[in-house]
Amino acid sequence: MSNQELPLSVAAPGCVATRQLRPPMTGETAVELAAVFKALADPVRLRLLSAIASRADGEACVCDLSTGIDVSQPTISHHLRVLREAGLLTSERRASWVYYRVVPHALTRLAEVLATEAGTVVSA
């Protein structure tokens, strides 16, 4: 059995176990968060999220989102769908246009998770 396979509560010979300050992330939470981070792990999606978040009320029409991003409209729509499915955006059809809005709680949760893992506190 390698050291990586030992349970967290058992230290290998010669290894000094450190005190645990909080429970580590559960497997279920890690899977859930990995899906969100995977959605963010694309430069086009990050730029789209930023473009929406930088607008008044964190909302933008799809017609405004292609400016400065050198990909086709179907590709932009695909990336927006990925962000929406990850829970980072919501969308609403108004007449013939779709408006996207950032989900503030989703971004706050990611900030809190990263701050917790870094041992710091985030105030909302």
Q: Does domain 27-118 bear CATH number 1.10.10.10?
A: yes
Residue with tokens 């429970």: 23
Per-residue pLDDT of the chain (124 residues; tens, 9 = 90+): 444 544 555 567 778 888 878 888 899 989 999 999 999 999 999 999 999 999 988 899 998 888 888 899 899 999 999 999 999 999 999 999 999 999 999 999 999 998 988 888 666 5
Give the per-residue pLDDT at 88.
Answer: 97
Give the per-residue pLDDT at 1.
Answer: 46
Q: Where are the domains of the chain?
A: 27-118
Give the per-residue pLDDT at 34.
Answer: 94
| Neighbouring residues of 57: CB distance < 8 A, sequence distance ≥ 6 | 101
